[in-house]
Amino acid sequence: MKTIFGVEASFKQLFAPFALAAAGGAGTIVAGWGAWGWYTVLWAALLLAGAAWCAFGPPVGGQVPGGDSMIVRYLHGRDAFGAAVLPVWSRHMENSRTQMEDAVADLATRFSSIVDKLDRALHVSSLEGNQGGQSMTAVFSHSASQLASVVASMKSAMQSKQAMLAQIRDLERFTRELRDMAEGVASIAAQTNLLALNAAIEAARAGPAGAGFAVVAQEVRHLSSRSAETGRNISQRVGQISSAILAASQAAEASSDAEDQSMQSAEGMIDSVLADFRTMTDALVQSSDLLKQESIAIQGEVGEALVQLQFQDRVSQVMSHVRENLALMPTVLEENRRHFEATGELLAPDPAPLLDALKSTYAMAEEHAVHGGSRHVAPKAADADEITFF
Amino acid sequence: MAKTILVVDDSASLRQVVGIALKGAGYDVIEGRDGADALTKCTGQKIHLVVCDVNMPNMDGITFVKEFKKLASYRFTPVIMLTTESQESKKEEGKAAGAKAWVVKPFKPEVLLGAVAKLVLP
C-alpha cells in the first residue's frame, strides 16, 4: 500500500489510470481530427472510464495483494463489532436470566410462606385438630351433659325438700290430735270434779259416818283440779308447738317456692346459654369447614402456581443456550476473516457450525421443535403416568 | 421423625418449588446447588431419597449419581432424576448411573410426591 497526497492507494489504482490515459492520448494523436475524430473522442472516453474504474473500482480477482484491501479492513471491523457487541448482548441476557431466576426464587419463597401460614392458621382454627384432641362440638356436648346433670341434681334436691315439707305438714296434723287429746283430759277433769263434789255432798248428808268419804271426795276434787291444770298446760304447749310447726312449714314452703322459681330461672338461663353456645359453635364449625375448603382450594392454586413457576427454569435454560451460542460468534467471524486472508476467497459466514453447536446444547423437546421451525411450543406438566421408573 | 430428602438443582427457584412440595408433605429437605456441592452434603447422615437435576454446572446429575452411589452410606438410597431432558438416551444414562425414576419438568407436585412416596426408604 502506498500513500499519495495522504491517500492510501494500490498499484492498480496508482498506475493503471496513467497508462490508459497515455494510450488515449496516443490514439488521438495518431488518428488526428477528421473523419475519425469522433471515434477517437469515443475511444478516449472509454479509456478514461477504464482508468477511473481501475482507480476506484473493486479489486479484480480473488487475490488481494498484501491483505491491505478495504475488504480486509471491513473484516477486521466486523470482528471488532462482534467482539464489542456480542459480549454486551450476552451480559444483558445473563443479567436478565439471573434477575428472572432471583425473582422467581423469591416468589417461590413467598408462596412457601403463604402455604406455611395457611397451614398454621388452619391448624389453629381446626375444631377437630386442636391441642386437647376435643372438638368444639364435643366440648359443647360435654358441657350440655354436665349442666343437665346439675339441673337434675337440683330437681332431686327440690323433690327431697317437698317430701320434708309433707312430713312437717303431718307433724301439724299430729299436734292437732294432741290438742284434741288435751282437751279430752280437761273434759274428764271437769266431770271428775263434778263427781267429787256430788260425793262430798252425799258424805255431808251421811254425817259422821261419811267423814272419811268426805276426805276421799276432797282428794278426788284436788286430783281433778290438777288434771285440769295439766290438760290446760298440755293444750297450751301443743298450741305453741303447732304454731312453731306451722311457722316452720310456711317458711319451708315459701323457701321451696323461691327455690323452685330460682331453679326454673336457672334452667331457663342454662338453656339460653347452651342455645347461644350452640349457635356460636355451629357458626364456628361452618367457618372452620369453609376455611378448610378454601384452604384446599388455595393449596390447589398454589400447586398450579408451582407448576407455572417451573417454566422460568426452562426459559432460563434456553437463554443460557442462546447466550453460549452468541459467545461463539466472534470466533466464527474471526475464522471467516482468517480464511479470506489466507486464501483470498470471500465467503459468507457458515451458520451450520453455530447451529450445530446450539443444537448440541438442547435439553428440551421444545428447543428441538423451535429449532425445526415451530414458533410456539407450550409443554404441559408431566402426569403421573409419564414418570419412568427403572 | 421426618424423612430427609436431598434436592440437587442449579436453579434456586426449582429448589424452592421442589422444597415447597416436599416440606408440605412432611419431609425434611437439604439442598445442593450442583453435583459437587451436593456431594459435600453427603457426610454420612441419613438421606432417605435424592431428587436430582441432570444439566448442572461443576458436576452434572449423572456424574453426581455415579459418585453418590460409590459412597457406602448411600449405596441403596434411591435417586429420582428431575430434569427437562426427555431423550431416551439420557434416561438410559440415568438408569445406568443408578437412578430409580425419571420425571420430566415441569412436574405437578402430586406427581413428584407420588414417585417419592413409592421410592423413599423406610
| pLDDT tens-digit readout, A50-101 | 666 655 555 444 454 555 578 888 888 888 888 888 888 888 888 888 888 8
Sheet holding B49-52, edge to edge: A388-389, B101-104, B79-83, B49-52, B4-8, B28-32
- Domain of B29 in residue numbering reads as 4-116
The whole model's pTM is what? Answer: 0.58
State yes or no: pLDDT of A117 exceeds 50. yes
- Residue A5: its pLDDT value, please? 45
Whether B70 is in a domain gets the answer yes
Q: Where are the domains of chain A?
A: 1-57, 62-125+310-386, 136-299
Residues in chain B: 122
Q: Are A323 and A94 in contact (CB under 8 A)?
A: yes
For residues A328 and A358, give the distance between their C-alpha atoms in angstroms, rounded to a whole number: 10
Which of A161-175, A205-219, B44-58, B96-110 comes out lowest in average pLDDT?
A161-175
Q: Which of B27, B8, B11, B15 is nearest to B113 (CA)?
A: B27
Q: Which of A154, A350, A358 is nearest to A265 (CA)?
A: A154
Whether B121 is in a domain gets the answer no
Whether residues B12 and A101 touch (CB distance < 8 A) is answered with yes
Instruction: For an interface test with B, give the residue of A298, A299, A389 to mutate (most B CBs within 10 A).
Output: A389
Q: Are B77 and B47 in contact (CB under 8 A)?
A: yes
Phi-psi region of A347 (alpha: psi -120 to 50; beta: other; left: phi over 0): beta
Nearest CA in chain B to A387: B103
pLDDT above 70 as % of chain B: 100
Whether residues A382 and B16 touch (CB distance < 8 A) is answered with no
Of residues A40 and A310, which shows the higher confidence score? Answer: A310
For residues A149 and A159, give the distance between their C-alpha atoms in angstroms, rounded to a whole number: 15
**Average pLDDT for A7-11:** 48
Is cis: bond before B106, omega within 30 of 0?
Answer: yes
- Residue A15: its pLDDT value, please? 58
State yes or no: pLDDT of A8 exceeds 50. no
Whether B64 is in a domain gets the answer yes
Of residues A8 and A282, which shows the higher confidence score? Answer: A282
- Residue A286: its pLDDT value, please? 85
Exposed, middle or buried by CB within 10 Å (0-12, 13-18, 19+), for A271?
Answer: middle
- Residue B52: its pLDDT value, please? 97
Per-residue pLDDT of chain B (122 residues; tens, 9 = 90+): 899 999 999 998 899 889 988 998 999 999 999 999 999 999 989 999 999 999 999 999 999 999 999 999 999 999 999 998 888 999 999 999 999 999 998 888 889 999 999 999 88
Whether residues A112 and B110 touch (CB distance < 8 A) is answered with no
- Residue A60: its pLDDT value, please? 46
DSSP string, A184-205: HHHHHHHHHHHHHHHHHHHHHH
Q: Which of A39, A46, A4 is nearest to A23 (CA)?
A: A46
For residues A151 and A305, give the distance between their C-alpha atoms in angstroms, rounded to a whole number: 57
pLDDT confidence tier of residue A47, bands split at 50, 70 and 90: low
When divided into structural domains, chain B yields a total of 1
For residues A53 and B75, give the distance between their C-alpha atoms in angstroms, rounded to a whole number: 79
A295 touches chain B (CB under 8 A): no
CATH 1.10.287.950 fits A136-299, yes or no: yes
Binding-site residues on chain B for chain A (CB distance < 8 A): 11-14, 16-17, 19-21, 23-24, 54-55, 83-86, 91, 94-95, 99-111, 114-115, 118
The tens digit of pLDDT for each residue in A276-335 reads 888 888 888 888 888 888 888 887 888 788 888 888 888 888 898 999 999 999 898 899
State yes or no: pLDDT of A153 exceeds 70. yes
CATH code for position B76? 3.40.50.2300
Whether B61 is in a domain gets the answer yes
Whether residues A115 and B91 touch (CB distance < 8 A) is answered with no
State phi, psi for B6 to the nearest 5 degrees: -95, 120
Q: Are B55 and B61 in contact (CB under 8 A)?
A: yes
For residues B95 and B53, give the distance between their C-alpha atoms in angstroms, rounded to a whole number: 14
| Smallest Cα distance from A134 to chain B, Å | 24
Whether B122 is in a domain gets the answer no
pLDDT confidence tier of residue A161, bands split at 50, 70 and 90: confident
pLDDT, chain A, mean: 79
